[in-house]
Amino acid sequence: MTGLTVALAGNPNSGKTTLFNALTGARQYVGNWPGVTVERKEGRVKFKGLDIRLVDLPGTYSLNAYSMEEIIAKDYICKDRPDIVINIVDGTNLERQLYLTLQLLELGAPVVLALNMIDEVEKRHYRIDHEKLGEMLGVDVVPIAAAKGTGIPALLEKVTSRRNMSKDAGKKLTAFDRYHESVEGEIGNQHTEEASEKLIRARYDFIDKLLGECLKKADREETTLTDKIDSVVTDKVLGIPIFLGFLYLMFQFTFAWAGQPLADLLDGFFANVLTPWTEGLLEAMGAAGWLKSLIIDGIIGGVGAVVTFVPLIFALFFFIAVLEDSGYMARVAFVMDGAMRSIGLPGKAFIPMIIGFGCTVPAIMATRTLENDRDRKLTMLIAPFMSCGARLPVYALFAAVFFPGSETNVVFSLYILGIAVAVIMGVIFKNTLFKGEEVPFIMELPPYRMPVIKSLVLRVWDRGKEYLQKAGTVIFAMSVVVWFLSSYNLGGPAEMADSLLAATGRVLAPLFKANGFGSWEASVALLTGLAAKEVVVATLGVVYGIGELTGEAAAVSTHPGSALSQHFSALSAYAFMVFVLLYTPCLAVIGVMKREFASWKWTAFAVFYQLFVAWSVSIIIYQGGRLLGVIRGTVLLIL
């Protein structure tokens, strides 16, 4: 079987990843907002006996090599020289998208033009003469709708036939050739600023000429639904309250409507079905007491405490996926851009921060889209304050015990606090470590699209599966470790209070006395939570599960709730959640920060400063809350 290397190049949000997925059957993350792909990916597709290696390049507006994406795309096209470049362009926005096409053709790349979103072009009553466009550019142009799979076989057909053509065989002089010759003659190899401006102008003039002959728009541009919605959601005054409203709705959906009721059912299954059944089985086998404790307290107590929150994770990510796929998240970045720039922060930094709502690891990696190293470092330092999905089980556990009926408000307040701390730290850094001028942020707002159910389900399943995989790997392992450390000391089996875990916790506990959670149990939960945030819940499940069992074996639940209320007050529980929100997310984040900072010094700084911020803010909350309580008590006494 012969091989062919095909690169996919195009503007951000032109549908490259959708086409890549349609061609390869892969399930790469597709977001309806620019900048989703920041690295190149490879896949394979077989067509008519040809083995096609497909390379999806990051979206770029041009090949000027200003940002990381542009460098990756340009390097690949110039150095690796793929056999064909499929240049995917959004048919509803040809004016700007053809700029990259011209640059590709100027580089001599063998281009096949995929005219994407042809369905939306028709909906808007645009008429594109794609044959004429192809004639003028000297390339094959194939209309497609990647999201619906329309035109994909025709595209592959053109790609394979383009390969069989020798480069200039029988080629007529095209409009592009004439433009290129004239530009070459006029500008040549000059690299002055004036020559560069001239070249840009010449490209846009040629694009105007192309569109003048190939594109006919509707006589009167209708105000689209997107325009109407945008006039409200991107409004200077209403934009941020609407975003906060959606955030609130997300937690209401997660806790009150969908997630929590299912989580309660699952908890009931663990407590009333799985645990008694396992106990019975172990009894029947004549298993030793320590094995029963390891399986019931350690594994079911630890892993079960985490798994019960799976429905919350599904609900949260379903809502996030709807916001992203519909195109609303791009508006959030736009709205926050204005707010962040008004206080001197780079607006583009909010995109990695939004990604951080899901997971901090890709959020740190997404900082690669920032051109400026200073802004990149700053964003890497503040993005971890955005509350990731892994912290949700901790909030859900504590909020259910200490704030029943107000879970939505509590979790909402934590997310807002995370954003506020990120912004405050950003302002501090911007005025100290990272002084400098702003780089302007240009962002395309994609049209609103109805989320595709299949894509939503796949993404939510992906995240749920990832969570369960985590439960079956690191959380399982950490639960066993925590059980072991809580059941033994150097002299052998021991009461939990005399165990190695308790001894470790007692060393750390004084540090958290002023925070209101200076118990060894809370301290070790925070320590083990460095592996992954869900481990905080697993550890509490093991530690308090054992505590409950030693009292009365009948009171088994994967929810360490009743024991929690004996060790925390509502105020100290909130301070604990604040600490979990703000301290170093997990080892994986430390690993990715090390790679992206390319410096141990910066990584260590990031870890310790986050610990310090978490510790300080948590103390302020706890001591401030106590002070308010004292004032309130005094006032009531006086009255």
Partner 1 sequence: MTGQIISIIIGAIIVYLAARVLWKSIAEMKAGKCAGCSGECSACGNVPAEGRDRKV
Residue recorded with tokens 């929150």: 309
**Residue 89 engages partner 1 in binding (rule: CB under 8 A):** no
**Residue 26 engages partner 1 in binding (rule: CB under 8 A):** yes
Strands (E) in 365-431, as ranges, are none
By beta-carbon proximity to partner 1, the closer residue of 400 and 532 is 532
Element (H, E) at 167: none
* 8 Å CB contact between 567 and 521: yes
By beta-carbon proximity to partner 1, the closer residue of 16 and 180 is 16
In angstroms, how far apart are the furthest CA atoms of the chain? 98
By beta-carbon proximity to partner 1, the closer residue of 195 and 604 is 604
**Residue 28 engages partner 1 in binding (rule: CB under 8 A):** yes
Only one of the segments 150-158, 180-188, 284-292, 428-436 lies at the binding site for partner 1 (rule: CB under 8 A); that segment is 284-292
- Taking CB under 8 A as the criterion, the residue among 215, 458, 500, 527 binding partner 1 is 458
**Residue 462 engages partner 1 in binding (rule: CB under 8 A):** yes
**Residue 391: DSSP 8-state:** G
- First-residue to last-residue Cα distance in the chain: 90
Give the dihedral of Cα atoms 406, 407, 410, 413; nearest 10 deg. -110
Residue 419 to residue 354: CA distance in whole angstroms: 10
Only one of the segments 188-196, 290-298, 423-431, 513-521 lies at the binding site for partner 1 (rule: CB under 8 A); that segment is 290-298
Residue 400 to residue 408: CA distance in whole angstroms: 10
**Residue 286 engages partner 1 in binding (rule: CB under 8 A):** yes
By beta-carbon proximity to partner 1, the closer residue of 106 and 462 is 462
**Residue 245 engages partner 1 in binding (rule: CB under 8 A):** no
User: How long a stretch of residues is the chain?
Assistant: 639
- Taking CB under 8 A as the criterion, the residue among 78, 232, 285, 553 binding partner 1 is 285
**Residue 27 engages partner 1 in binding (rule: CB under 8 A):** yes
Only one of the segments 39-47, 176-184, 207-215, 434-442 lies at the binding site for partner 1 (rule: CB under 8 A); that segment is 39-47
- How many other CB atoms sit within 10 Å of the CB of residue 629? 12
By beta-carbon proximity to partner 1, the closer residue of 328 and 403 is 328
Give the three-class secondary structure for 432.
Answer: coil
- Taking CB under 8 A as the criterion, the residue among 400, 417, 474, 501 binding partner 1 is 474
- How many other CB atoms sit within 10 Å of the CB of residue 225? 10
* 8 Å CB contact between 587 and 530: yes
**Residue 40 engages partner 1 in binding (rule: CB under 8 A):** yes
**Residue 51 engages partner 1 in binding (rule: CB under 8 A):** no
Only one of the segments 213-221, 459-467, 490-498, 499-507 lies at the binding site for partner 1 (rule: CB under 8 A); that segment is 459-467
* 8 Å CB contact between 618 and 579: yes
- Distant-in-sequence, close-in-space partners of 382: CB < 8 Å, separation ≥ 6: 349, 353, 422, 423, 425, 426, 429
By beta-carbon proximity to partner 1, the closer residue of 119 and 466 is 466
Min dist CB 464 to partner 1, Å, is 11
**Residue 527 engages partner 1 in binding (rule: CB under 8 A):** no
* b/e sequence 385-399, b meaning 16+ C-beta within 10 Å: bbbbbbbbbbbbbbb
By beta-carbon proximity to partner 1, the closer residue of 469 and 634 is 469
Min dist CB 480 to partner 1, Å, is 4
Site for partner 1 in 297-336 (CB under 8 A): 299
* 8 Å CB contact between 421 and 578: no
Cα angle 288-543-556, degrees, rounded to a multiple of 5: 65
- Work out the burial of residue 316: count CB atoms within 10 Å of its CB; fewer than 13 is exposed, 13-18 middle, 19 or more buried: buried
- Taking CB under 8 A as the criterion, the residue among 5, 29, 65, 96 binding partner 1 is 29
Binding mask 581-600 for partner 1 (x = CB under 8 A): -----xxxxxxxxxxx----
Site residues for partner 1 per CB under 8 A: 17, 24, 26-29, 36-44, 72, 285-288, 290-291, 294-295, 299, 358-359, 361-362, 365-366, 368, 458-459, 462-463, 465-466, 469-478, 480-481, 531-532, 586-596
